[in-house]
Structure 1
Amino acid sequence: MAQKDAHAMILDAIDRGEFSPGDRLVESELADRFGVSRTPVREALQRLETQSVLVRDGRSLIVATLSHDQMAELYAVRTELEALAARLAAQHAAREEISVLRQMVEEDAALIGDANALARANRRFHGQIHLASHNRYLIQQLGMVHRSMALMATTSLAAEGRGPAALGEHQAIVEAIAARDGDAAADALRQHLSLAFETRLREEARKI
Protein backbone atom coordinates (compact mmCIF):
# COMPACT_ATOMS: atom_id res chain seq x y z
CA MET A 1 0.00 0.00 0.00
CA ALA A 2 1.50 3.32 -1.01
CA GLN A 3 2.17 6.10 1.46
CA LYS A 4 -0.38 8.38 -0.18
CA ASP A 5 -3.06 5.77 0.41
CA ALA A 6 -2.41 5.59 4.16
CA HIS A 7 -2.31 9.38 4.29
CA ALA A 8 -5.61 9.64 2.41
CA MET A 9 -7.30 7.00 4.57
CA ILE A 10 -6.35 8.75 7.81
CA LEU A 11 -7.48 12.11 6.46
CA ASP A 12 -10.74 10.61 5.28
CA ALA A 13 -11.36 9.09 8.71
CA ILE A 14 -10.79 12.50 10.33
CA ASP A 15 -13.06 14.13 7.76
CA ARG A 16 -15.85 11.62 8.50
CA GLY A 17 -15.53 12.26 12.22
CA GLU A 18 -14.15 8.82 13.07
CA PHE A 19 -11.23 10.62 14.71
CA SER A 20 -11.99 13.86 16.54
CA PRO A 21 -9.74 16.72 17.70
CA GLY A 22 -7.78 15.49 20.72
CA ASP A 23 -7.93 11.81 19.74
CA ARG A 24 -4.63 9.94 19.96
CA LEU A 25 -3.54 8.08 16.82
CA VAL A 26 -1.50 4.94 17.37
CA GLU A 27 0.60 3.57 14.52
CA SER A 28 -0.07 -0.12 15.20
CA GLU A 29 -3.81 0.42 15.64
CA LEU A 30 -4.05 2.37 12.38
CA ALA A 31 -2.12 -0.32 10.51
CA ASP A 32 -4.57 -2.96 11.75
CA ARG A 33 -7.59 -0.76 11.07
CA PHE A 34 -6.64 -0.05 7.46
CA GLY A 35 -4.99 -3.37 6.70
CA VAL A 36 -1.61 -1.91 5.79
CA SER A 37 1.92 -2.29 7.12
CA ARG A 38 3.22 0.08 9.79
CA THR A 39 5.80 1.76 7.54
CA PRO A 40 3.38 3.68 5.29
CA VAL A 41 1.28 4.54 8.36
CA ARG A 42 4.37 5.93 10.11
CA GLU A 43 5.25 7.99 7.05
CA ALA A 44 1.66 9.22 6.75
CA LEU A 45 1.60 10.28 10.41
CA GLN A 46 4.85 12.19 9.96
CA ARG A 47 3.42 13.93 6.90
CA LEU A 48 0.21 14.83 8.74
CA GLU A 49 2.27 16.29 11.57
CA THR A 50 4.16 18.55 9.15
CA GLN A 51 0.77 19.60 7.73
CA SER A 52 -0.40 20.52 11.27
CA VAL A 53 -3.28 18.05 11.09
CA LEU A 54 -1.63 16.17 13.97
CA VAL A 55 0.30 17.62 16.90
CA ARG A 56 2.59 16.17 19.56
CA ASP A 57 1.34 15.46 23.05
CA GLY A 58 4.39 14.09 24.79
CA ARG A 59 5.40 11.07 22.71
CA SER A 60 1.95 10.68 21.19
CA LEU A 61 0.38 12.24 18.11
CA ILE A 62 -3.13 13.60 18.50
CA VAL A 63 -5.59 15.17 16.09
CA ALA A 64 -5.09 18.94 16.25
CA THR A 65 -7.68 21.31 17.68
CA LEU A 66 -8.14 24.75 16.15
CA SER A 67 -7.91 27.77 18.44
CA HIS A 68 -10.35 30.67 18.14
CA ASP A 69 -7.80 32.68 16.16
CA GLN A 70 -6.97 29.75 13.88
CA MET A 71 -10.66 29.24 13.17
CA ALA A 72 -11.10 32.91 12.28
CA GLU A 73 -8.03 32.83 10.02
CA LEU A 74 -9.27 29.68 8.31
CA TYR A 75 -12.69 31.16 7.62
CA ALA A 76 -11.09 34.33 6.22
CA VAL A 77 -9.02 32.34 3.73
CA ARG A 78 -11.80 29.89 2.94
CA THR A 79 -14.29 32.68 2.26
CA GLU A 80 -12.13 34.41 -0.34
CA LEU A 81 -11.10 31.17 -2.07
CA GLU A 82 -14.67 29.86 -2.15
CA ALA A 83 -15.97 33.19 -3.45
CA LEU A 84 -13.42 32.99 -6.27
CA ALA A 85 -14.53 29.42 -7.02
CA ALA A 86 -18.16 30.56 -7.25
CA ARG A 87 -17.19 33.46 -9.53
CA LEU A 88 -15.24 31.14 -11.83
CA ALA A 89 -18.03 28.55 -11.76
CA ALA A 90 -20.42 31.24 -13.02
CA GLN A 91 -18.06 31.70 -15.96
CA HIS A 92 -17.01 28.14 -16.70
CA ALA A 93 -19.51 25.62 -15.26
CA ALA A 94 -21.06 23.31 -17.83
CA ARG A 95 -24.85 23.16 -18.01
CA GLU A 96 -24.67 19.63 -16.62
CA GLU A 97 -22.60 20.79 -13.62
CA ILE A 98 -25.20 23.42 -12.78
CA SER A 99 -27.91 20.78 -13.07
CA VAL A 100 -26.03 18.58 -10.58
CA LEU A 101 -25.74 21.48 -8.14
CA ARG A 102 -29.49 22.08 -8.35
CA GLN A 103 -30.18 18.39 -7.77
CA MET A 104 -27.92 18.42 -4.72
CA VAL A 105 -29.87 21.26 -3.12
CA GLU A 106 -33.17 19.48 -3.78
CA GLU A 107 -31.97 16.12 -2.46
CA ASP A 108 -30.24 17.58 0.59
CA ALA A 109 -33.56 18.92 1.87
CA ALA A 110 -34.38 15.35 2.89
CA LEU A 111 -31.38 15.36 5.24
CA ILE A 112 -32.56 18.23 7.45
CA GLY A 113 -32.55 16.99 11.02
CA ASP A 114 -29.48 14.78 10.50
CA ALA A 115 -26.59 17.17 11.09
CA ASN A 116 -23.84 14.68 10.21
CA ALA A 117 -25.46 13.63 6.94
CA LEU A 118 -26.12 17.27 6.09
CA ALA A 119 -22.48 18.12 6.83
CA ARG A 120 -21.32 15.41 4.42
CA ALA A 121 -23.75 16.70 1.79
CA ASN A 122 -22.50 20.23 2.41
CA ARG A 123 -18.93 19.14 1.69
CA ARG A 124 -20.07 17.48 -1.52
CA PHE A 125 -21.92 20.63 -2.59
CA HIS A 126 -18.96 22.89 -2.00
CA GLY A 127 -16.66 20.37 -3.66
CA GLN A 128 -18.86 20.44 -6.75
CA ILE A 129 -18.53 24.23 -6.92
CA HIS A 130 -14.76 23.86 -6.65
CA LEU A 131 -14.76 21.45 -9.60
CA ALA A 132 -17.07 23.73 -11.59
CA SER A 133 -14.50 26.53 -11.28
CA HIS A 134 -12.30 24.53 -13.66
CA ASN A 135 -9.14 25.89 -12.02
CA ARG A 136 -6.86 23.11 -10.83
CA TYR A 137 -4.72 25.36 -8.64
CA LEU A 138 -7.71 26.80 -6.83
CA ILE A 139 -9.14 23.31 -6.34
CA GLN A 140 -5.83 22.22 -4.81
CA GLN A 141 -5.76 25.14 -2.37
CA LEU A 142 -9.38 24.60 -1.37
CA GLY A 143 -8.61 20.95 -0.70
CA MET A 144 -6.00 22.03 1.85
CA VAL A 145 -8.45 24.44 3.48
CA HIS A 146 -11.20 21.84 3.73
CA ARG A 147 -8.75 19.37 5.25
CA SER A 148 -8.23 21.88 8.06
CA MET A 149 -11.99 22.39 8.40
CA ALA A 150 -12.19 18.75 9.52
CA LEU A 151 -10.31 19.80 12.68
CA MET A 152 -13.42 21.57 13.97
CA ALA A 153 -15.07 19.19 16.41
CA THR A 154 -18.65 20.02 15.45
CA THR A 155 -20.53 21.22 12.39
CA SER A 156 -22.33 24.57 12.36
CA LEU A 157 -25.19 22.69 10.69
CA ALA A 158 -25.99 21.10 14.06
CA ALA A 159 -27.25 24.48 15.35
CA GLU A 160 -31.02 24.84 15.51
CA GLY A 161 -32.42 26.24 12.28
CA ARG A 162 -29.09 26.34 10.51
CA GLY A 163 -29.79 23.42 8.16
CA PRO A 164 -32.80 24.92 6.34
CA ALA A 165 -31.13 28.34 6.22
CA ALA A 166 -27.93 26.88 4.74
CA LEU A 167 -29.88 25.10 2.00
CA GLY A 168 -31.60 28.35 1.12
CA GLU A 169 -28.18 29.97 0.84
CA HIS A 170 -26.99 27.10 -1.35
CA GLN A 171 -29.97 27.71 -3.62
CA ALA A 172 -29.04 31.39 -3.99
CA ILE A 173 -25.46 30.45 -4.90
CA VAL A 174 -26.62 27.98 -7.55
CA GLU A 175 -29.06 30.42 -9.10
CA ALA A 176 -26.34 33.09 -9.36
CA ILE A 177 -24.01 30.58 -11.02
CA ALA A 178 -26.80 29.51 -13.39
CA ALA A 179 -27.41 33.16 -14.29
CA ARG A 180 -23.69 33.48 -15.11
CA ASP A 181 -23.48 36.35 -12.61
CA GLY A 182 -20.02 36.03 -11.11
CA ASP A 183 -20.38 38.97 -8.73
CA ALA A 184 -23.68 37.67 -7.33
CA ALA A 185 -22.28 34.13 -7.00
CA ALA A 186 -19.22 35.37 -5.09
CA ASP A 187 -21.35 37.58 -2.84
CA ALA A 188 -23.81 34.75 -2.13
CA LEU A 189 -20.93 32.44 -1.20
CA ARG A 190 -19.37 35.05 1.09
CA GLN A 191 -22.70 35.65 2.82
CA HIS A 192 -23.21 31.89 3.24
CA LEU A 193 -19.84 31.41 4.95
CA SER A 194 -20.24 34.55 7.05
CA LEU A 195 -23.49 33.19 8.47
CA ALA A 196 -21.89 29.76 9.01
CA PHE A 197 -18.99 31.36 10.90
CA GLU A 198 -21.35 33.50 12.98
CA THR A 199 -23.34 30.38 13.88
CA ARG A 200 -20.17 28.55 14.90
CA LEU A 201 -19.04 31.48 17.06
CA ARG A 202 -22.40 31.53 18.86
CA GLU A 203 -22.20 27.79 19.49
CA GLU A 204 -18.65 28.10 20.81
CA ALA A 205 -19.66 31.00 23.09
CA ARG A 206 -22.33 28.81 24.70
CA LYS A 207 -19.60 26.43 25.87
CA ILE A 208 -17.75 29.11 27.85
Structure 2
Amino acid sequence: MLTTPPRRTGRASRSASELAFDALRNEILRGELAPGERLSEPDVSARLNVSRTPVREAFQQLESEGLAVRQQGRLVVAGLTITEATNIHLIRLSLEKLAIRQAMAGDRKKLARQLEKTLHDMRYELLGGDTMAAVDAARAFHETIYRMTNNEMLERFLIQVYNRVDQYRFSSSGQGPPRLHHTDEEHERIIAAVRDGDVGTAENEIASHLQRAHEFLISAMSKEQTA
Protein backbone atom coordinates (compact mmCIF):
# COMPACT_ATOMS: atom_id res chain seq x y z
CA MET A 1 0.00 0.00 0.00
CA LEU A 2 1.33 3.46 -0.92
CA THR A 3 1.62 5.87 1.98
CA THR A 4 2.60 9.43 2.59
CA PRO A 5 6.41 9.61 2.96
CA PRO A 6 7.30 9.53 6.68
CA ARG A 7 8.67 12.64 8.31
CA ARG A 8 12.03 12.07 9.99
CA THR A 9 12.57 13.81 13.30
CA GLY A 10 14.89 11.41 15.06
CA ARG A 11 12.52 10.87 17.99
CA ALA A 12 11.43 7.34 18.89
CA SER A 13 7.88 8.48 19.70
CA ARG A 14 7.59 10.09 16.26
CA SER A 15 8.70 6.89 14.59
CA ALA A 16 6.05 4.99 16.53
CA SER A 17 3.41 7.53 15.50
CA GLU A 18 4.37 7.06 11.85
CA LEU A 19 3.92 3.31 12.17
CA ALA A 20 0.58 3.79 13.91
CA PHE A 21 -0.58 6.26 11.28
CA ASP A 22 0.38 3.94 8.40
CA ALA A 23 -1.40 0.99 10.03
CA LEU A 24 -4.60 2.96 10.68
CA ARG A 25 -4.56 4.57 7.25
CA ASN A 26 -4.27 1.19 5.55
CA GLU A 27 -7.10 -0.22 7.65
CA ILE A 28 -9.33 2.72 6.72
CA LEU A 29 -8.52 2.62 3.00
CA ARG A 30 -9.08 -1.13 2.82
CA GLY A 31 -12.39 -0.94 4.68
CA GLU A 32 -11.21 -2.75 7.79
CA LEU A 33 -12.21 0.37 9.74
CA ALA A 34 -15.61 1.44 8.45
CA PRO A 35 -16.90 5.02 8.04
CA GLY A 36 -18.38 6.20 11.34
CA GLU A 37 -16.40 3.69 13.40
CA ARG A 38 -15.01 5.20 16.59
CA LEU A 39 -11.25 5.50 17.02
CA SER A 40 -10.30 5.02 20.66
CA GLU A 41 -6.80 5.76 21.96
CA PRO A 42 -6.79 2.92 24.53
CA ASP A 43 -8.15 0.38 22.04
CA VAL A 44 -5.77 1.30 19.22
CA SER A 45 -2.83 1.53 21.63
CA ALA A 46 -3.49 -2.00 22.88
CA ARG A 47 -4.14 -3.40 19.41
CA LEU A 48 -1.00 -1.91 17.86
CA ASN A 49 1.08 -2.47 21.00
CA VAL A 50 2.26 1.13 21.25
CA SER A 51 1.82 3.80 23.90
CA ARG A 52 -0.99 6.34 23.73
CA THR A 53 1.21 9.31 22.81
CA PRO A 54 2.10 8.05 19.29
CA VAL A 55 -1.50 6.95 18.80
CA ARG A 56 -2.66 10.47 19.68
CA GLU A 57 -0.19 11.88 17.12
CA ALA A 58 -1.40 9.39 14.52
CA PHE A 59 -5.00 10.47 15.17
CA GLN A 60 -3.99 14.09 14.57
CA GLN A 61 -2.45 13.10 11.24
CA LEU A 62 -5.58 11.17 10.26
CA GLU A 63 -7.63 14.30 10.92
CA SER A 64 -5.29 16.53 8.95
CA GLU A 65 -5.49 14.20 5.93
CA GLY A 66 -9.28 13.95 6.05
CA LEU A 67 -9.46 10.30 7.10
CA ALA A 68 -11.00 10.98 10.52
CA VAL A 69 -13.39 13.61 11.87
CA ARG A 70 -14.71 14.74 15.26
CA GLN A 71 -18.36 13.95 15.96
CA GLN A 72 -19.87 14.85 19.34
CA GLY A 73 -16.42 14.93 20.90
CA ARG A 74 -15.41 11.54 19.50
CA LEU A 75 -12.97 10.77 16.70
CA VAL A 76 -14.49 8.55 14.02
CA VAL A 77 -13.50 7.30 10.57
CA ALA A 78 -14.62 9.84 7.97
CA GLY A 79 -17.45 8.91 5.65
CA LEU A 80 -18.35 10.23 2.22
CA THR A 81 -21.71 11.11 0.68
CA ILE A 82 -22.42 11.13 -3.03
CA THR A 83 -22.68 14.93 -2.93
CA GLU A 84 -19.28 15.17 -1.21
CA ALA A 85 -17.77 12.74 -3.73
CA THR A 86 -19.04 14.89 -6.59
CA ASN A 87 -17.63 18.08 -5.04
CA ILE A 88 -14.30 16.37 -4.45
CA HIS A 89 -14.27 15.18 -8.06
CA LEU A 90 -14.62 18.76 -9.33
CA ILE A 91 -11.71 19.86 -7.12
CA ARG A 92 -9.60 16.89 -8.18
CA LEU A 93 -10.30 17.60 -11.84
CA SER A 94 -8.86 21.11 -11.59
CA LEU A 95 -5.88 20.04 -9.48
CA GLU A 96 -4.89 17.10 -11.68
CA LYS A 97 -5.05 19.17 -14.87
CA LEU A 98 -2.74 21.66 -13.18
CA ALA A 99 -0.47 18.81 -12.05
CA ILE A 100 -0.03 17.28 -15.50
CA ARG A 101 0.67 20.72 -16.95
CA GLN A 102 3.33 21.51 -14.35
CA ALA A 103 4.89 18.03 -14.50
CA MET A 104 5.21 18.22 -18.28
CA ALA A 105 7.01 21.54 -17.95
CA GLY A 106 9.86 19.60 -16.31
CA ASP A 107 11.64 16.42 -17.43
CA ARG A 108 8.98 15.03 -19.76
CA LYS A 109 10.97 11.94 -20.77
CA LYS A 110 11.53 10.96 -17.15
CA LEU A 111 7.84 11.53 -16.43
CA ALA A 112 6.83 9.25 -19.32
CA ARG A 113 9.24 6.51 -18.15
CA GLN A 114 7.95 6.58 -14.60
CA LEU A 115 4.33 6.56 -15.73
CA GLU A 116 5.07 3.58 -17.96
CA LYS A 117 6.50 1.75 -14.95
CA THR A 118 3.30 2.24 -12.94
CA LEU A 119 1.28 1.02 -15.92
CA HIS A 120 3.49 -2.06 -16.19
CA ASP A 121 3.04 -2.69 -12.45
CA MET A 122 -0.74 -2.43 -12.73
CA ARG A 123 -0.84 -4.87 -15.65
CA TYR A 124 1.38 -7.30 -13.76
CA GLU A 125 -0.88 -7.24 -10.69
CA LEU A 126 -4.02 -7.62 -12.81
CA LEU A 127 -2.56 -10.66 -14.57
CA GLY A 128 -1.72 -12.10 -11.16
CA GLY A 129 -5.27 -11.47 -9.91
CA ASP A 130 -4.24 -9.06 -7.14
CA THR A 131 -6.85 -6.31 -7.50
CA MET A 132 -5.72 -4.42 -4.39
CA ALA A 133 -2.14 -4.19 -5.64
CA ALA A 134 -3.41 -3.12 -9.06
CA VAL A 135 -5.37 -0.28 -7.43
CA ASP A 136 -2.20 0.71 -5.58
CA ALA A 137 -0.37 0.89 -8.91
CA ALA A 138 -3.20 2.95 -10.42
CA ARG A 139 -2.87 5.47 -7.60
CA ALA A 140 0.92 5.46 -8.09
CA PHE A 141 0.33 6.68 -11.65
CA HIS A 142 -1.28 9.86 -10.33
CA GLU A 143 1.21 10.21 -7.49
CA THR A 144 4.02 10.16 -10.05
CA ILE A 145 2.48 13.12 -11.84
CA TYR A 146 1.96 15.36 -8.84
CA ARG A 147 5.32 14.52 -7.28
CA MET A 148 7.08 15.59 -10.48
CA THR A 149 5.47 19.01 -10.28
CA ASN A 150 7.80 19.91 -7.38
CA ASN A 151 4.77 21.72 -5.98
CA GLU A 152 4.46 20.68 -2.35
CA MET A 153 1.20 22.54 -1.80
CA LEU A 154 -0.44 20.86 -4.78
CA GLU A 155 0.83 17.47 -3.61
CA ARG A 156 -0.61 18.04 -0.14
CA PHE A 157 -4.03 18.97 -1.51
CA LEU A 158 -4.15 15.97 -3.84
CA ILE A 159 -3.18 13.55 -1.07
CA GLN A 160 -6.17 14.80 0.93
CA VAL A 161 -8.42 14.37 -2.10
CA TYR A 162 -7.25 10.78 -2.70
CA ASN A 163 -7.67 9.86 0.94
CA ARG A 164 -11.29 11.01 0.86
CA VAL A 165 -12.24 8.66 -1.96
CA ASP A 166 -9.76 5.77 -1.78
CA GLN A 167 -11.61 3.84 0.93
CA TYR A 168 -14.55 3.61 -1.48
CA ARG A 169 -12.37 2.83 -4.47
CA PHE A 170 -10.81 -0.14 -2.66
CA SER A 171 -14.07 -1.55 -1.35
CA SER A 172 -16.49 -0.84 -4.20
CA SER A 173 -17.20 -3.14 -7.10
CA GLY A 174 -16.69 -0.17 -9.41
CA GLN A 175 -12.91 -0.44 -9.00
CA GLY A 176 -12.67 -4.12 -9.84
CA PRO A 177 -10.91 -5.68 -12.85
CA PRO A 178 -13.39 -4.37 -15.51
CA ARG A 179 -12.82 -0.77 -14.43
CA LEU A 180 -9.07 -1.32 -14.10
CA HIS A 181 -8.84 -2.59 -17.68
CA HIS A 182 -10.39 0.70 -18.80
CA THR A 183 -7.94 2.51 -16.51
CA ASP A 184 -5.11 0.72 -18.34
CA GLU A 185 -6.25 2.11 -21.69
CA GLU A 186 -6.85 5.60 -20.29
CA HIS A 187 -3.44 5.74 -18.62
CA GLU A 188 -1.81 4.62 -21.86
CA ARG A 189 -3.42 7.52 -23.74
CA ILE A 190 -2.18 9.98 -21.10
CA ILE A 191 1.35 8.60 -21.43
CA ALA A 192 1.19 8.97 -25.23
CA ALA A 193 0.28 12.64 -24.85
CA VAL A 194 3.16 13.13 -22.39
CA ARG A 195 5.61 11.53 -24.83
CA ASP A 196 4.35 13.77 -27.63
CA GLY A 197 4.63 16.86 -25.44
CA ASP A 198 0.98 17.66 -26.13
CA VAL A 199 -0.15 19.37 -22.92
CA GLY A 200 -3.68 20.10 -24.15
CA THR A 201 -4.32 16.46 -25.07
CA ALA A 202 -2.79 15.28 -21.78
CA GLU A 203 -5.16 17.55 -19.83
CA ASN A 204 -8.14 16.35 -21.87
CA GLU A 205 -7.19 12.69 -21.36
CA ILE A 206 -6.76 13.24 -17.61
CA ALA A 207 -10.17 14.92 -17.45
CA SER A 208 -11.83 12.12 -19.41
CA HIS A 209 -10.17 9.46 -17.24
CA LEU A 210 -11.25 11.13 -14.00
CA GLN A 211 -14.81 11.58 -15.23
CA ARG A 212 -15.13 7.86 -16.06
CA ALA A 213 -13.60 6.87 -12.73
CA HIS A 214 -16.00 9.21 -10.93
CA GLU A 215 -19.02 7.74 -12.70
CA PHE A 216 -17.97 4.23 -11.70
CA LEU A 217 -17.45 5.35 -8.10
CA ILE A 218 -20.85 7.05 -7.86
CA SER A 219 -22.55 4.01 -9.38
CA ALA A 220 -20.87 1.71 -6.83
CA MET A 221 -21.70 4.02 -3.92
CA SER A 222 -25.33 4.22 -5.01
CA LYS A 223 -25.59 0.43 -5.15
CA GLU A 224 -24.04 0.07 -1.69
CA GLN A 225 -26.39 2.65 -0.18
CA THR A 226 -29.48 0.92 -1.60
CA ALA A 227 -28.32 -2.62 -0.80
User: Is the structural similarity TM-score above 0.5?
Assistant: yes
Number of aligned residue pairs: 207
Alignment partner, residue 152 of structure 1: 168
Distance 1:59 1:141 in 2: 26
Alignment partner, residue 126 of structure 1: 142
Distance 1:133 1:183 in 2: 17
SS of 1:133's partner is coil
Are the aligned partners of 1:54 and 1:61 in contact in 2 as well (CA < 8 Å)? yes
Deviations 1:7-43 (A, max 9, x none): 4553344235443323332212322344431023224
Letter in 2 for 1:206: K
Are the aligned partners of 1:54 and 1:64 in contact in 2 as well (CA < 8 Å)? yes
Are the aligned partners of 1:31 and 1:41 in contact in 2 as well (CA < 8 Å)? yes
Are the aligned partners of 1:92 and 1:134 in contact in 2 as well (CA < 8 Å)? no
Distance 1:169 1:79 in 2: 15
1:131 Cα deviation after fit: 1.3
Distance 1:51 1:108 in 2: 25
RMSD in angstroms over aligned alpha carbons?
A: 2.6
- CA pair 25-197 structure 1, distance change in 2 beyond 3 A: same
Alignment partner, residue 3 of structure 2: none
- CA pair 44-106 structure 1, distance change in 2 beyond 3 A: closer
Are the aligned partners of 1:75 and 1:197 in contact in 2 as well (CA < 8 Å)? yes
Alignment partner, residue 191 of structure 1: 208
Alignment partner, residue 76 of structure 1: 90
1:179 Cα deviation after fit: 1.5
Q: Which runs of 5+ in 1 are unaligned?
A: none
Q: Which runs of 5+ in 2 are unaligned?
A: 1-12
Between stretches 83-92 and 47-56, larger displacement belongs to: 47-56
Q: Percent identity?
A: 29
Letter in 2 for 1:178: R
Are the aligned partners of 2:28 and 2:34 in contact in 1 as well (CA < 8 Å)? yes
Deviations 1:126-173 (A, max 9, x none): 111111223222112212222222343634322x62111111101111
- Within 5 Å, give how 1:7-86 maps onto structure 2: 7-46=21-60, 48-49=62-63, 52-56=66-70, 60-86=74-100
Q: Which has the higher contact order (CA 8 A, sep 6+)?
A: 1
